[in-house]
Structure 1
Amino acid sequence: MRTKQGLVVVVAAALALALPLGACAATAEDSPTAPQADLTTLRDEVIPATDPGRSPANANRRTDTFVSMILKPGGVFLPGFYENGWDGNAIVPIFASLVVRDESGQPKPDLAESWEISPDNLTYTYHLRDGLTFSDGSPLTADDVAFTLTLLNDPAYSGYIDFSDIVIAGTDEFRNGDAPGLSGITVIDPRTITITTERPNPLALTILGGPVISKAHYGKGYAKGKLDYLRDLYAKPLGAGPYQLDRFVEGQEVRYTANPHYYGGQPPIAHLIYKVLPSTDAALQNFQNGDIDQGGFGSDPAVIDELKELGYATINTRVIPDIGQIWVNNSNPALAPTQARQALNYGLDRQQIVDARFKGLGQVADTYAAPPLWSYTTEGVTRYDFDPDRAGQLLDELGWVRGADGIREKDGKKLTLSYITTKPDDPVIPIGEQNYTALGIDFVPEVLDSNTAFARFNSGDYDLAGFRTEGLADPDDAVREFGTNDPNINLSRYRNPEVTRLVAAGVGTFDEAERKKIYAELYQRLSEDPPTILLDYRKSISAYNARVEGADAFRTGGEDAAQALAKLKIRSS
């Protein structure tokens, strides 16, 4: 999956080059400076409501409606085609998958009641539940699954879902030849589909078993190599999830009604609303006055005390499996050399950014895995503690010389780097300006709306861009883009043959112990030749009004969040 966006909890070795700087950089084990927080030792915590009866009247009047929050949806409500990650949150209630993952990352049935994997790990057979329908009452069958996978492997498809490490049999003949479909997909009967792949991959079960869309709805007008017609359907989603879209008012709300045809039964709560809010500060105010029932409140420990005082708030604090980063456009000639990216890492006071952003509930990130992931390790990785002298030395070695105005120049061109963000209060702006200006870099922040920012980011029209990864369910989620040359996936345009080999090796075996060894080596290689600037891990605060029963399961925001949504109930006052 493409690793970008900022999710809210509502429902991210040596090179062949002989580089001297890798040898002299400190590692996490021998550095004298330790992070101020260690999220690997912090446990998730649930703080129960102490006085549910204090729930605001404004909330209590909503006897058939649950209101959560969302920040910046863009209105592309089609799995596999959105670019703004908030749209990924917005489609969670609408669509259902064959298989999802629970909070621990284990596969869990959704539309498929069971499955088998062949002994060679190449063929997957899914058995659909009996009587499945989409929200309009039309049947959902194996033909819809086949159509979904065909669409996502169409030669014109340029979205974030990547089958390159799986490869359904017949993909080449379909994309580059005259084959009308993928020969590896066989519909046995309306409830059974078999998919044969060319490469073993431990993620294939859930990637092949992703959200299912309606062939009758989305297949009208389909012709191989021509997908533009789907744009007219972005705002008209049809899925098999627990809710169906009622309306989307940009900048205000995404409104849903319960799906009477949901396989798990019509949800007890008739209406669901994601209220569009500008910030976590606004979320707290809306929660206090009863305008929302659930929200994410950032990572300020002081907020926990404010929520406790309300009495009706059940509070969750959780180490989030994502990573805050600054993506670096490696195709920019000024940023292509490894030394340049190392200089940017050494030259930025990341601890100061983490302190400003999380106030003690964050940790500087040093490896391409979040602490909750089973692959997480910092053993042997290069640690980039704030060292402006080292950063300056590296830029000197690359030939970037300070001009009369203090800005570095090379071959008549100034070292000017823009920084894309969607947050006016992004601490990278003042800290980056201070640190990089002192280093001789002309640092130019650009605060953009989400749709413009993602469009620039996805097209490669950026130097530096601040985004979080999506929630990471598997180690591959954080590193996959660095192992492919596909610009629709590899948004950093990073190239490193050894990294490419290790990324492929990480999904080339089902043995978790072996995978762990591979990722440990991969993290070392990525730290020595950093594709991006790692920033932080975080512990996040969310809460829900105790009038809502079952929201503790919904808090995780994981792939099974839709199933949790379908079980929410409002307690009678």
Structure 2
Amino acid sequence: MILSACALDSSSSKQSAVPEKKVNTPAKDTGVKEFKATNLSALPEKAKSRKDLFIAGISAPGGVFLPYFYENGWDGNATSPIFAPLVDLDKEGKPVGILADKWDVSSDQLTYTFHLRKGLTFSDGSPLTADDVAFTLTLLHDPAYEGYQDISLAAIKGGKEYKEGKAKTIEGIKVKDKQTIEITTTEVNAKALLLLGGQVLSKAYYGNDYEYGKLDYLKDLYSKPLGAGPYKFIKYVPDQEIRYEANEHYYAGKPKTKNLIFKVIDTSTSLQLFETGELDYASFSADDDTVGQLQSLGFANVRVGPVNDFGLIYVNNSRPQFKDKEVRQALIYGLDRQKIVDVKFKNYGEVANVPVSKVSWAYNDEGINKYEFNASKAKELLDQAGWKVGKDGIREKDGKPFVIHYLTRTAEDPIIPIAKENYEDIGIKFEPEIMDFNALIAKLNKKDYDFASVSTSQILDPSDPVEEFATNNPNNAAGYSNPKVDELIKKGLNTLDIEKRKEIYHELYKELSEDPPVILVHYRQSARAISGQIQGLIPDNYTGIGASLPNISIKK
């Protein structure tokens, strides 16, 4: 899971497509409502003056603009225009070739052969070949690689031996010619196609100084990205903007709009920036006031619908007070999550009870404990776990008081007052700590926290948000371990049969409910606003605005 406050397109889900609809008509299956611009003459002068520039908001990039190496989900959004994958998902969630013209899968579903498009180049004009794909996959197997991509899930033949230093090459990766690469795996994996067909790094650029077991040299290139995407990186001004320019070498042709800016914004001011024309596109947590205000502008095309993520509170299972599952259960019972959702989202959110979005084909909460707010049940479980109420009203065990330090990005977080009241009622002291997102991520990765509030990134596959709960996953920030969960996570990936996968994930959700690693909080909806003069921008539920970027034009 890439931790992200929300994606660049914080409303973009990566699940079901959003068909075109008439004004004010809800989409039948997605819960999406669409409102068309009614008065383009109301466009702000700042927006009208832009003839060859598209501006969208981004929240908190960390400056690591290299796929597979960033820790901040915003950096993932920042790199998406720069780097292209072999395979992506279309607006219906089906695999589609980007740099790969086509691919073949063997009858035993273990060998993938990718056929690259002819004449591919990186943005500097240098050729992109199968050697670059092989280099990218090899880099991810290097023992010094500690990023978010767990390439071991693809089970490439010989990958483990290479990582352990027992082989100098990866047996399962074979470059057949400049346009063809064959990759043999040892296990059937439902995510293998996207894992193997990810964003491609230039061997000449990123591999020039490569030595086995030494990847620190790449840090000098984090701020100097080179890729094969529709746009090339020009400049990053911290806390201000990321500037891009159309890539004339892009395989599908130079994008229609020459200049692109991701403007670094505070989400609290994004509505104002859109209203004044400083943004051409923005997304917001939906509520009646925001949706009404966007409609009243007249110059905005607005879509309101569910987001393909969920909000949660990380619980550090490696700390003694959270090791007992009865304590974690009590912490869910003792928190009024419905009140949090009502305060934060009003009519545009729901309490989350399974770790996948409601738009996912894997979503199923039948037979799942909903953990409805029950302070008495929470107290009972804490008593059973040996946490007794002390003289000052705070529970203690082995002479240590029960105190929760909660990390969050904003003092306006509604969890703070509600959790403080709820938990103190059951004998737990709750102390919030406000910090910026990058600092919060750093503490998560070091497991230097009690509670931390985050949202998931967009969910491509139901395995995405649960993989990190596997005992040996390097990104297991919750410090969680459950052998049955480990087994079910693996089973969910080891079949391509979607009906079997549904059954496996439902069983997994039941186990994660009984032995919860985190506190699930909410599902939400967002409102997407697009300036009426922008044409060709069609946010979808899988790539957000990414797939549209090459096609954006400005109505003259």
TM (norm. structure 2) is: 0.95
Query: What whole-Å deviation, never above 9, does each CA across 1:48-73 have from its counterpart, x for those lacking one?
Result: 11112221111110101000001111
The correspondence of residues 315-354 of structure 1 with structure 2, limited to 5 A, is 315-354=302-341
The correspondence of residues 300-319 of structure 1 with structure 2, limited to 5 A, is 300-319=287-306
Structure 1: how far apart are the matches of 2:319 and 2:3?
20
Quote the offset at 1:459 in angstroms. Answer: 1.5
**Match 1:271 to one of 243, 256, 259:** 259
Query: What whole-Å deviation, never above 9, does each CA across 1:234-262 have from its counterpart, x for those lacking one?
Result: 10000111111111111111111111111
The one-letter code sitting in structure 2 at the alignment partner of 1:319 is P
Quote the offset at 1:41 in angstroms. Answer: 7.1
The correspondence of residues 397-546 of structure 1 with structure 2, limited to 5 A, is 397-486=384-473, 488-546=474-532
Which residue of structure 2 lines up, in the alignment, with residue 26 of structure 1?
none
Which residue of structure 2 lines up, in the alignment, with residue 135 of structure 1?
123
Structure 2: how far apart are the matches of 1:530 and 1:40?
34
Which residue of structure 1 lines up, in the alignment, with residue 186 of structure 2?
198
The one-letter code sitting in structure 2 at the alignment partner of 1:316 is R
The one-letter code sitting in structure 1 at the alignment partner of 2:204 is A
Quote the offset at 1:3 in angstroms. Answer: 5.4
Is the Cα contact below 8 Å between 1:382 and 1:527 reproduced in 2?
yes
Alpha-carbon spacing, 1:110–1:308, altered in 2? closer, same or farther (3 Å): same
Structure 2: how far apart are the matches of 1:95 and 1:460?
31
1:297 aligns with 2:281: no
Quote the offset at 1:2 in angstroms. Answer: 4.0
Is the Cα contact below 8 Å between 1:344 and 1:391 reproduced in 2?
yes
The one-letter code sitting in structure 1 at the alignment partner of 2:6 is G
Structure 2: how far apart are the matches of 1:508 and 1:42?
29
Which residue of structure 1 lines up, in the alignment, with residue 90 of structure 2?
102
Structure 2: how far apart are the matches of 1:301 and 1:245?
38
Alpha-carbon spacing, 1:409–1:40, altered in 2? closer, same or farther (3 Å): farther
- Consecutive unaligned residues in structure 2, runs of 5 or more: 14-26
Aligned length, in residue pairs:
542
The one-letter code sitting in structure 1 at the alignment partner of 2:323 is A
Alpha-carbon spacing, 1:174–1:236, altered in 2? closer, same or farther (3 Å): same
Is the Cα contact below 8 Å between 2:4 and 2:457 reproduced in 1?
yes
Is the Cα contact below 8 Å between 1:241 and 1:562 reproduced in 2?
no
| Partner-residue secondary structure (3-state), 2:153 | coil
The one-letter code sitting in structure 2 at the alignment partner of 1:507 is L
The one-letter code sitting in structure 1 at the alignment partner of 2:131 is D
Query: What whole-Å deviation, never above 9, does each CA across 1:439-467 have from its counterpart, x for those lacking one?
Result: 21121111111221111111211111111
Alpha-carbon spacing, 1:178–1:529, altered in 2? closer, same or farther (3 Å): closer
Which residue of structure 1 lines up, in the alignment, with residue 236 of structure 2?
248
Structure 2: how far apart are the matches of 1:318 and 1:135?
36
CA RMSD between the two structures: 1.6
Structure 2: how far apart are the matches of 1:408 and 1:490?
28
The one-letter code sitting in structure 1 at the alignment partner of 2:41 is G
The one-letter code sitting in structure 2 at the alignment partner of 1:542 is R
Quote the offset at 1:560 in angstroms. Answer: 7.1
Is the Cα contact below 8 Å between 1:135 and 1:244 reproduced in 2?
yes
The one-letter code sitting in structure 2 at the alignment partner of 1:393 is E
| Partner-residue secondary structure (3-state), 2:120 | coil
Is the Cα contact below 8 Å between 1:476 and 1:506 reproduced in 2?
yes
Quote the offset at 1:409 in angstroms. Answer: 0.9
The one-letter code sitting in structure 2 at the alignment partner of 1:76 is V
Alpha-carbon spacing, 1:274–1:80, altered in 2? closer, same or farther (3 Å): same
Higher mean C-alpha deviation, range 541-550 or range 399-408: 399-408
Alpha-carbon spacing, 1:336–1:4, altered in 2? closer, same or farther (3 Å): farther
Structure 1: how far apart are the matches of 2:221 and 2:410?
30
Which residue of structure 1 lines up, in the alignment, with residue 533 of structure 2?
547
Query: What whole-Å deviation, never above 9, does each CA across 1:478-511 have from its counterpart, x for those lacking one?
Result: 211122423x321111111111111111111111
Structure 2: how far apart are the matches of 1:2 and 1:87?
10
Quote the offset at 1:528 in angstroms. Answer: 0.8
TM (norm. structure 1) is: 0.92
Is the Cα contact below 8 Å between 1:242 and 1:562 reproduced in 2?
no
Structure 1: how far apart are the matches of 2:131 and 2:411?
46
- Consecutive unaligned residues in structure 1, runs of 5 or more: 13-38
Alpha-carbon spacing, 1:549–1:4, altered in 2? closer, same or farther (3 Å): closer
Is the Cα contact below 8 Å between 1:328 and 1:531 reproduced in 2?
yes
Quote the offset at 1:104 in angstroms. Answer: 3.0
Which residue of structure 2 lines up, in the alignment, with residue 31 of structure 1?
none
Quote the offset at 1:102 in angstroms. Answer: 2.3
Which residue of structure 2 lines up, in the alignment, with residue 562 of structure 1?
546
Quote the offset at 1:46 in angstroms. Answer: 1.9
The one-letter code sitting in structure 2 at the alignment partner of 1:305 is G
Alpha-carbon spacing, 1:103–1:328, altered in 2? closer, same or farther (3 Å): farther
